[in-house]
A and B are shown apart, each in its own frame.
Chain A
Amino acid sequence: MNKTWNNRAWWLVLPVFLMVAFNALVPLMTVVNYSVQETFGNNEFFWAGSRWFEDILRSDRFHDALLRSGIFTLLVLALEVPLGLGIALTMPRKGPWVSVCLVLMSLPLLIPWNVVGSMWNIMALPDIGLLGKAINALGINYNYTRQPISAWFTLVLMDVWHWTSLVALLCYAGLVSIPDAYYQAAKIDGARPWAVFRYIQLPKLRHVLTIAILLRFMDSFMIYTEVIVLTGGGPGNATTFLSIDLVKYALGQFDLGHAAAMSIIYFLIILFASWLFYTLMMRHQEQ
């Protein structure tokens, strides 16, 4: 068969290319532009080379924020993935309760992030908030505006509340798609519930779990809105994650070069981690 070569077809790709350029490449290149220059306003720029990058990579402030972001992400993943999986396993497969469960599970996902932050902010206030008052009533000294440990506890709890549903819904979708014959075969083979989970459900959920972990990693590593509304990065710098620190540089100090370099490093970390994770999961798949 002869294929027709027609370079005019490229014109058809142009609209998409332009759109991608305007909403991804151009802004990204602006950031690159800032990251290698210094400016004192008045639209005057001076070449700075890799200075900002070196500064960032050596600064303790960056290391601390990176560490906080990392710990937060790990905590959130460690809680949400098993919890979401557990919820999905206990959800009904058929009957009228399916839709009730699905709607209830989706509710937290529909609430805007800043509203989630405000809700938890008010709810966790030690003097008037329901949660804050209840914890203090139990005899535990809890005040998220003063104690770093309380602030972390509240943030992690909030994120678990907000996003476990996503993991659960993804897992549920995966579970529902397992053909009945697998369960029947397992029954005939005399498999106990644990063996059914370990050898049928878990392997069949690998794909959705990969996606769930990837999504939750990216989202939690970039979390900003809820944290800024709830703790504002405090007390002190206790909950200043990379995203919050970045905004402090860019809009607090107007340190544009610094902020741009940090953005790029931040972006590369996420890109690398996602790629690494995805490749590992997929390579395992091929074996």
Chain B
Amino acid sequence: MNLALDLLTIVAVSLGALFFLAGTVGLLRFPDTLTRLHALTKADNLGLGLVVLGLLPQVSAPLAALGLIAVWLLAMLSGATVGQLLAGAARPPDPDRAEMPARDAVSSHD
């Protein structure tokens, strides 16, 4: 049982680290702001999520596990919002997109 949990930790944290690496490479190599944002938010959401998932079996108290999950959720919330703001700032103002970001934002949080 313990071995299986340790294996899960190793696999999940390694995968998470891989996502962070890929996200960083994307941030450095992708051609424009929107694609770079895509790379960055992948690292935040999936990378951090996998690292948290991998660390869950290793915590000693259930409260610490809740804390880890809360960190992941808060990082996703702020990452999604900052992604929206940066994308909005990077795009040239466009008259028929005036309503669009609003709907994007709401649906991406559901």
A pairs with B = no
